[in-house]
Amino acid sequence: MEKKHKSGAKTKIENMNKYLTRILFFSILSGHIFLTKNLKALVPYYYFPETKNLKQEALSLGKQAYQLLYFGQIKDSLNLAKLAVKIDDKNETLWTILAEAQLANKLYEEGLISLNNAQEINPQNGEIYFAKSTIYLKQSKIKKAKDSLQSGIKIIPENFNAIFQLGNIYLMEKNYEKALKEFDNAIKIKKDFWQAINNKGLAYYELNKINLSIISFKKAISLEENAEPMLALASCLRTEDTAKAIFLAKKALIKEPNYVEYNYRKEQLWGEKLQSSTTKLFENRELKEEIFFAKTKIN
């Protein structure tokens, strides 16, 4: 009897232990759930945008940067463009916008780095070569500018502006025959490209082909009554038709007073022979008043 009683007591104790164990387990489990719910309430909820949304945001910032650049807010444009690239550094367009903002802020080396990054993303984008050429010209690195233009033209052979710029580089190098060839190539694509027609006149004059210069300047004026071909034509006519030369020179200086300055004409790639002829033209007393007013306007 005693053994049976002890055995029953032992069974009760074991059952009680199992019961207590279950209670303890469920208490821990329910406590864990309670704590988890409270933790969710305490920890703030963060939204992590998807990659697609980030790229759209970067592109939007890039567009804003470009608009600011257009309106002359170059510092703000630069900051926005930098932010856009930080968000999405795999977008070649954003790198080119940043490069353009850097160019506007005269950060030429930084601009070249940005364009190199864009080129790594898309080596077949000819426009990047043209942009690099612009920066090289700002740095007076003529050979690099020419090489970049030629590389870009291989990719985009119909870009008449790039071909025209290549012709201008040949003008700088005083390689007038090659300059004429490139200007003709540009005009084949854009028939009314008066700037290229005008610059043909500049090249012809340095080659002593004055009659061809006159034809080029007259044709440029027929397309666009711009001060440059007017004054250039006046310089061509200063000995054979002085009255016409004076009339054209006066009209040109009213349109653009800066052409009274030697250095300004040099920036427009006027050669020494045309410069010399223009200096002699400005010695005419009939132009004294117009020259005086032109100088006061630019000062």
What pLDDT, in 10s, does the model give residues 109-152? Answer: 999 999 999 999 999 999 999 999 999 999 999 999 999 999 99
Here the tokens at position 226 are 């711009």
Is residue 258 exposed (0-12), middle (13-18) or buried (19+ Cβ within 10 Å)? middle
Please, what is the Cα angle at 223 between 217 and 226, to 5 degrees?
Answer: 65
pLDDT band, very low/low/confident/very high, at 45 (cuts 50, 70, 90):
low
User: Given this model, what pLDDT does residue 52 score?
Assistant: 74
d(CA 2, CA 53): 80
d(CA 231, CA 240): 15
- CB-based contacts of 55, cutoff 8 Å, min separation 6: 87, 88, 91
Q: Check: CB of residue 118 under 8 Å from CB of residue 126.
A: no
Identify which has the larger pLDDT, 51 or 152.
152
- CB-based contacts of 56, cutoff 8 Å, min separation 6: none
Q: What is the mean pLDDT of residues 68-94?
A: 96
Flag the least confident range among 7-11, 123-127, 202-206, 229-233: 7-11
Asked whether residue 18 carries a pLDDT value surpassing 70, the answer given is: no
Q: The whole model's pTM is what? A: 0.80
Q: Which CATH class is domain 192-299?
A: mainly alpha
Torsion of CA 278, 281, 283, 285, to 10 degrees: -150
**Residue ranges covered by each domain of the chain:** 192-299
